[in-house]
Structure formats: structure tokens, C-alpha cells
Amino acid sequence: MNNNVDVAIAGAGIAGCLLARNLARDGHRVAVIEKSKREDAGHDWWDTIKIATFARVGMPEPEPPELMSTRHEATVYLPLETKPLTAPPRPESIHVDRKLLEQRQIRYAEEAGAELLFGAKATGPLLDGDQVVGMGVETAEGEKIELRAKITIDAAGMSGVLRSKMPEKFGFPQQVERKDMFVTYREIRNNTTASRDDLLIFGKNNGVVWVNRAEAGMVDFFAGAINFPGRTEPRDIVNEMIRKTPEAGDRIMRGGYGAPIPVRHCFDSFVAPGFMLCGDSACHCSPIDGSGMASSMIAADHASKIAHAALENGDTSLAALWPYIGAYKREQGVPFVGLDAVQKFMVSEPKINLELLFTRGVLKIEEFWGSGGGAGGNKLKMLLRLIKLVDRPLFVRRLIASVGIGAKLKVHYMNFPDKYDPAEFAAWVKGKESLFAELPPAMLPPR
């Protein structure tokens, strides 16, 4: 591998591969460091993504067997599991086989000319003052290399191996806080019957549980819970669901493990001199359920355009990379920051209130589950629906206040400073934090 490149990327996941393809295609020398072996890259299950994402980032749509089913109707319960609701089919959302998608993305990156090194770990950024000039790498053979680059990108997922060793002054933290992450567990068993019903329990243990039978012959069990102290172990939740599902066979066909995922709004900044964050490492994900494939790809698309322009102009300073932040925030950050307000409101309320919100039809599951949007679009419709909660005036007051803060946060995101100015950025961060501080605190699970 060439130890001196234009762009060095940690992580050959959803974001890293797309960055590598785009930047190599633009004629830059790109090296990607991936800790998994080539054949192990990608999660061992399928995930849901809007099909339109592929056109958005200039990638051919998946075909079978990578393309699996579309999302069909699901029975939904709220945390107290009193009354079943129905979430309508979402034909715009598909299941993709993550392993096959990953292999395709790796192929695109290599065909474009990027060099990928598998079984090698990124160990930390190389710094020259404030400028990131590459990363440390430990190869599969234990050899330590200094990989030098004009731009270094952390696309290594939530743990952010490079981010975690960067000084905090740039507007992103070293670690994602526990309250901002889901711990998850997923196990896919053989389905011993022809049943294809889907079940979703939303809000259980401050998280999400599903039993999905969309894929023939398999039952997919998932549990994710916010990593609050005292939380229930997702694996225990899955085991309980398996016990309650008689058609689940004994064979673990895929998965059988979990991984933490961020559930928060994206970081205030995702750039430093010569350095960018992309995907889960910057919390480019939905704060409601941690979905981050589409947003990681969209972030990679913006990041590669800005990195290309910076390399063409021979300027990889903080100011040159800055436009990446506003571009992502305006496209994807705006709906997601609104959803973060919804998420924070939901974990602050007694479960019975959430139950009433949905069972009385004030909010519809499909209006925010996987929508990236939320129900706030039509204010009049929302106000009329609130009449259904007339016996809960204090709850309605808190709900209206939280929706209002969500709306202000969205406007605040739209007004992210276009140009790098430390004072203006500091004022923007302060404004955002004061809006979040107005949201009620989480109601923690009993220890």
C-alpha cells in the first residue's frame, strides 16, 4: 500500500466505501483501512433503507439476492402493549442484504481505483499541530505504519477510532454519551411455519423490539434500548420474544450478536483541519431508531464533493472543509434534529401518555417511524387531533412545548453558519444547547 495518499479513510462500511468510490473516481489517491477481513465485511443480516437513496447517491439500485423484500404491513404495540395498531406497508422501503451490499460497495471502490487494506486497524490520527496529516495503522501482521494523507476521514462507525483521540475543541466529542446510544441484539431463526406477520413494539424499555417475518423461512428478532443505567439487556428481551414465538426454530440462521448505534442529532461540527467524520462516527443517523444507512450515504456524498473541491484548491483547512457540515445539516440534519426533540420528549413521559398519544390517534406510527420527518407538517391537523387528549391538559401542554422546541431546532439547523467563524459557530452551538435544555429530562428506568 502507498503510505502517502490524498485521502485516508478509516472503515470500509457504508460511508467509507462510498467516499472511497467517489474520491477515487475524481482522480484522487485513496487508501481505506478496514479492520475486518474482506469476506467478513458487512453486518450478517438485512436492513431497511429507502430505495430512492441509491439514486440520490448515484449508485445502481440493488437487485436480488441483495434486494430482499419490501416492508409490508406490521402490527404495532406501544410500550404497555394494550391495543394493537397497524402500520401500513412501506413499499418505498426495502430490505437489503448488508453483506451483499457491502461487497458491492467494496467492488465499486476498488474499480474506481481506491486501495483497500483489510484486517488492518486504524489506531489514531497523526497530528501536526492542529492539522491532521494521516493516521496510524496496525496491519494484520502487526506491522505499525504511518499512513500520510492530505485529508483523513473517520468512517469507522460510532466508536470513532480517530475521533476518540482528537482534541475536543473542534465541535465533536471523543465519545458518544450513553444516553445517546442504543444497545442492540439481533438473532434470525428459521421459521417453522408459513406465518409472515410482522410485529413492532415501539417504546418498550425505551427502545424498539421487532419480530419480523418478511423474509421467507426466517424470523428476525431485534431489540434495541437506550443505554440508560438500569436498562434491560436487549439479548434478554430477544430471548423472551423467542420464547413467546412458537414458530421460531432452533437454528440461528444469521446475526446472533449486537452492536451499539447512536440515537442523537449529528454532532455540531464534523470537520477539523485535514479531517472529516462521516456516518455513525458523526452520528449521521435517525435519533428515533438509529437507522443510519441512508444518512451515512448522503453524508458521504456531501463529504466527497467538499473534499474533492478542497484537494483541487490545495486547501484542506477547517474553513475549506466547513461547507460539508451545513450541506448535510440542511438536507438530513433538519428532520433528524426535530426527531431528536420527539425522542427526548418520549423518554421523559410516563409510558401511559405515549400509549394514549398513539391509541387515540393523535400521532400515527407511520408519521415518524422511519419517516425522517415527524407529524409536525400540518399544524391545524395536529391541533384538531390534540382535542382527543382533552382529559390530559398538562400532557398536552408539555407535548406542544416540545413540538415547538423541535420546530425551533429545525430553523436553527437551517441557519447553520455557511462560513467558518469561531465566534459565530460558538453562538450557534450555544443557541442549540439552550433549545435542548428546554426539553424535559429523561424518566430513567428504575434500578
Ligand X SMILES: Cc1cc2nc3c(=O)[nH]c(=O)nc-3n(C[C@H](O)[C@H](O)[C@H](O)COP(=O)(O)OP(=O)(O)OC[C@H]3O[C@@H](n4cnc5c(N)ncnc54)[C@H](O)[C@@H]3O)c2cc1C
Q: How many CB atoms lie within 10 A of CB 198?
A: 18
State the minimum distance, in angstroms, from the CB of residue 213 to ligand X: 15
Out of 78, 100, 112, 122, which residue is the one contacting ligand X (CB under 6 A)?
A: 122
Is position 211 an interface residue for ligand X (rule: CB under 6 A)? no
Q: Which residue has the cell 477515487?
A: 24
Distance CA 219, CA 122 (A): 36
Pull the grid cell for residue 218: 426466517
Is position 155 an interface residue for ligand X (rule: CB under 6 A)? yes
Between CA 408 and CA 323, with CA 297 as vertex, the angle to 5 degrees is 55
CA dihedral 10, 13, 19, 24 (to 10 degrees): 80
Pull the grid cell for residue 110: 476498488
Kindly tell me which of 259 and 352 has the beta carbon lying closer to ligand X. 259
Options 155-163, 173-181, 212-220, 393-401: segment touching ligand X (CB under 6 A): 155-163
Out of 7, 8, 16, 276, which residue is the one contacting ligand X (CB under 6 A)?
A: 16
Out of 171, 203, 274, 279, which residue is the one contacting ligand X (CB under 6 A)?
A: 279
State the minimum distance, in angstroms, from the CB of residue 305 to ligand X: 17
Out of 5, 8, 12, 209, which residue is the one contacting ligand X (CB under 6 A)?
A: 12
What part of residues 164-193 is at the interface with ligand X (CB under 6 A)?
184, 186
Options 47-55, 82-90, 187-195, 323-331: segment touching ligand X (CB under 6 A): 47-55
Kindly tell me which of 161 and 321 has the beta carbon lying closer to ligand X. 161
State the minimum distance, in angstroms, from the CB of residue 27 to ligand X: 23
Is position 287 an interface residue for ligand X (rule: CB under 6 A)? no
Distance CA 40, CA 227 (A): 27
- The residue number with the shortest CB distance to ligand X is 13
Kindly tell me which of 238 and 354 has the beta carbon lying closer to ligand X. 238
Distance CA 246, CA 211 (A): 12
* Distances 89 to 84, 186, 197, 365 between C-alpha atoms, Å: 16, 22, 12, 12
List 176's β-bridge partners, or say none.
none
- What length is written for the chain? 447
Q: State the burial class of residue 106 (Cβ atoms within 10 Å of its Cβ: 0-12, 13-18, 19+).
A: buried
- Residues near ligand X (CB under 6 A): 10-16, 33-36, 41, 47-49, 121-122, 155-157, 161, 184, 186, 259, 261, 279-281, 285, 290-294, 296
